[in-house]
Chain A
Amino acid sequence: MSEIRLERIVKTFKDVRAVDDVSLTVAQGEFMVLLGPSGCGKTTLLRSIAGLEDIDAGRVVIGGRDVTELPPRARRVAMVFQSYAVFPHMSVFENIAFGLRMSKVEKTTLTRRVRSAAELLHIEALLDRYPSQVSGGQRQRIAVARAIAMEPDVLLMDEPLSNLDALLRLEMRAELKRLLNEIGSTTVYVTHDQVEAMSMGDRIAVMRAGRILQLGDPLTIYQTPVDRFVGGFIGSPPMNFLPATVRDGGDGLRAEVQDAGSLRLDGTAAWLTGRIGQAVTMGVRAEDIDVVEDGGADGVLRGRILVVEPLGSHDLLTVRLGESRLKVATRPGIALRADDPVVLRPQVERLVWLDPESDRALERPASAA
């Protein structure tokens, strides 16, 4: 009923194409995250759904209704703004009731819905106060309560957590996720924080320069980014990228990393046969690299440790490997220090292969998948 369909949306500011021919369908009840660096067009796209931007081309269809030409108030969406936009001259109650008053909801229903929204956000004790008398985190809750009091089919959120401090953000992230699960609205959520995107989204649309680069569920995007940008943007630390050359090692395929060694590519990477003698970029996540004992083993990469960062849950190593640097996550308390030599064995089945020219992932033939 409240599926959102965006068809070939274009929005230009002066000479900049903020949104460049974007099509996207958000299913009923789905939590879609628009993720990207600032200036990628994610907020403009969200505002186009709300009707706060007049789009230059394309259609916005909400729940089967073409709303492209409708003003925001006729679109039946609720929105949480980055700055919260909680009205300073209204009490918390009146703020939450604002949308209900505008749509002339009858008084007892209004009071009931304001109270239940406030209870969901744990701010029922603040209803008589004014926004200046509550904390930033509570103001954020007011903004969310105002949105969910509308019982909206479509909920739009523009970086709602970005103005909170780190601890509060962590808490609200989980709480919002629970809440949105409960109310089941179709949600579009804009953020530049990849952790937020990963932890909350049913699906993520990674955007850059006005386009969607990759659309998929968080784990797929994390494990198989379509290009170097997505791999670098998602995950902390970002995905490592190493230049390598595909070789025929006689006993099978190998990926050679200059001055570091070569990896045996069996099984899942066998489809690289067609690339023998060619340069590739190898993408690997920090946690997909094992530090192994040096037993003169074959199929490992040898490097030297630059930095060891103990992070409690794991240690983060920065390793120089030939001309490259890469991050390696190991179990905590590893007995290695800066300048020590180190031997690494990446999990070959987890590697991502990219074209070094285009920085895009190489197509894996369907038969080999």
Chain B
Amino acid sequence: MTKRRNLAPWLLVLPSALYLAVFFATPMAQSFALALQDSAGSWSLESVQLMLGDPDFGRAVSATLTLLVLVIPIQLALALAMAIVINKRLRGTSLWLYCYALPLAISELAAGIVWVSIFTQRGWLNSILQSLGILDRGVIWMSGESYWMLIGIIVVAEAWRATSIMMIILVAGLQSIPDEYLEAAEVYGASLWQRIRRVILPMLRPSLQVALILRVILAIQVFATAVALAGTGLTVMSQQALDWANDIDNDNVAAAWAGLMLVISLTATVGILWLLPVREEQRQ
């Protein structure tokens, strides 16, 4: 009897453990193994050295991290503001929620193409600016020569596309904060900004953790938006992995890229957990 009871939790965990082992742990181990072999299949650091020696290596890593560093704070601020507005439960709130969440339903590539149609030389932005008389001729926004312009455009598109996933996590988090905390803060003299800083943000920590980790990992994997908007004008890390696998036909270096992205994601996750600890004594 006792024995069977001790077995029960393990049996319950088994299906998901199997799933993770087959579909995540195994490919991950294989990918690391690939990265640590040369193309002939013997163990060596050749693939990693090839990746590091690639002239595009620095550009891809810095473009990806630059995008991440720019887009995450913008998304965090926007998502928080949107979540607070929605949590006010004003009239028409659910309509706002749907509007905000709509980009979630659009594929990354489609979203990228939509933004291309906005920023292209004969696109929406130029048309509007011209018809308003602000511009005489269309500006070439997406030129390969202007790196920072491309970065800016991708940041805007990514902010539009992927802010709502953060927002939805934060809305859920906000709704779990009882109103009386905010009311108490209000009665005791806290302004809106003080309420955000002293009550909402600290109590939202668990949700902030999740939202940040999720978004940072996805930002490290940024791909389709960048490809659609920048083409060859700018290269990101996933692009490099793809190029090495498809164009150069070297799975080992592609695996090295994948491994690098994993290591960066892992580091970022640990960093976020360390920066935003949720201490046991602070819990409800």
User: B271 at the A/B interface (Cβ < 8 Å)?
Assistant: no
In chain B, positions 151-191 with a C-beta closer than 8 Å to chain A are 178, 180-181, 183-191
User: A347 at the A/B interface (Cβ < 8 Å)?
Assistant: no
User: A271 at the A/B interface (Cβ < 8 Å)?
Assistant: no
User: A73 at the A/B interface (Cβ < 8 Å)?
Assistant: yes
Q: Is the CB of B281 within 8 A of A102?
A: no
User: B231 at the A/B interface (Cβ < 8 Å)?
Assistant: no
User: B255 at the A/B interface (Cβ < 8 Å)?
Assistant: no
* A103 to B185 alpha-carbon distance, docked (Å): 12
Q: Which secondary structure dominates chain B's binding surface?
A: helix
| Nearest A residue (CB) for B190 | A102
User: B202 at the A/B interface (Cβ < 8 Å)?
Assistant: yes
Q: Is the CB of B284 within 8 A of A78?
A: no
Point out the residues of chain B lying under 8 angstroms from A133, CB to CB. 281
Point out the residues of chain A lying under 8 angstroms from B203, CB to CB. 87-89
Min CB distance B140 to A, Å, is 50
Min CB distance A50 to B, Å, is 6
| Nearest A residue (CB) for B186 | A72
14 inter-chain pairs at a CB distance below 8 angstroms, sorted by A residue, are A51-B187, A52-B187, A73-B186, A73-B188, A73-B190, A79-B184, A81-B183, A85-B180, A87-B202, A88-B282, A89-B205, A90-B202, A102-B189, A150-B188
CB < 8 Å: which of A75, A81, A103, A129 contacts B184?
A81
Point out the residues of chain A lying under 8 angstroms from B190, CB to CB. 73, 98, 102
Q: Is the CB of A88 within 8 A of B284?
A: yes
Point out the residues of chain A lying under 8 angstroms from B198, CB to CB. 98
In chain A, positions 122-166 with a C-beta closer than 8 Å to chain B are 129-130, 132-133, 146, 150
Point out the residues of chain A lying under 8 angstroms from B205, CB to CB. 89
Quick one: which of A77, A78, A79, A89 has the most chain B CB within 10 A?
A89
CB < 8 Å: which of A78, A98, A132 contacts B185?
A98
* A82 to B179 alpha-carbon distance, docked (Å): 12
Q: Is the CB of B188 within 8 A of A81?
A: no
User: Number of residue pairs across A and B with beta carbons under 8 Å?
Assistant: 71
CB < 8 Å: which of B181, B183, B191, B194 contacts A87?
B181
Q: Is the CB of B186 within 8 A of A88?
A: no
User: A277 at the A/B interface (Cβ < 8 Å)?
Assistant: no
* A88 to B283 alpha-carbon distance, docked (Å): 6
Point out the residues of chain B lying under 8 angstroms from A85, CB to CB. 178, 180-181, 183-184
Instruction: Given contacts A72-B183, A85-B178, A85-B181, list 8 more A-B pairs with CB under 8 A.
Output: A73-B188, A81-B180, A83-B178, A85-B183, A88-B282, A130-B282, A132-B283, A150-B188
In chain A, positions 28-86 with a C-beta closer than 8 Å to chain B are 50-52, 71-73, 75, 77-79, 81-83, 85
User: B199 at the A/B interface (Cβ < 8 Å)?
Assistant: yes
CB < 8 Å: which of B183, B194, B202, B281 contacts A52?
B183
Q: Is the CB of A132 within 8 A of B183?
A: no
8 tightest A-B CB contacts, nearest first = A102-B189, A99-B188, A85-B184, A130-B281, A85-B180, A89-B202, A73-B189, A89-B282
The proximity string for B residues 119-155 relative to A, scoring 1 for CB distances below 8 Å and 0 otherwise, is 0000000000000000000000000000000000000
Point out the residues of chain B lying under 8 angstroms from A146, CB to CB. 188
Q: Is the CB of B281 within 8 A of A83?
A: no
Q: A81-B183, A130-B281 are in contact. Are A87 and B199 (CB under 8 A)?
A: yes
Point out the residues of chain A lying under 8 angstroms from B281, CB to CB. 129-130, 132-133
CB < 8 Å: which of B180, B187, B194 contacts A72?
B187
| Nearest B residue (CB) for A103 | B189
Q: A85-B178, A87-B181, A88-B203 are in contact. Are A71 and B284 (CB under 8 A)?
A: no
Min CB distance A145 to B, Å, is 12
Q: Is the CB of B283 within 8 A of A83?
A: no
Point out the residues of chain A lying under 8 angstroms from B188, CB to CB. 73, 78, 98-99, 102, 146, 150
In chain B, positions 252-284 with a C-beta closer than 8 Å to chain A are 280-284
Min CB distance A267 to B, Å, is 52
CB < 8 Å: which of A77, A87, A90 contacts B187?
A77
* A78 to B181 alpha-carbon distance, docked (Å): 14
Q: Is the CB of A73 within 8 A of B191?
A: yes
* A40 to B180 alpha-carbon distance, docked (Å): 20
* A73 to B187 alpha-carbon distance, docked (Å): 5
Q: Is the CB of A71 within 8 A of B186?
A: yes
Min CB distance B45 to A, Å, is 46
Point out the residues of chain A lying under 8 angstroms from B202, CB to CB. 87, 89-90
* A102 to B178 alpha-carbon distance, docked (Å): 21
Point out the residues of chain A lying under 8 angstroms from B185, CB to CB. 87, 98
* A72 to B186 alpha-carbon distance, docked (Å): 6
Point out the residues of chain B lying under 8 angstroms from A79, CB to CB. 183-184, 187
Min CB distance B163 to A, Å, is 26
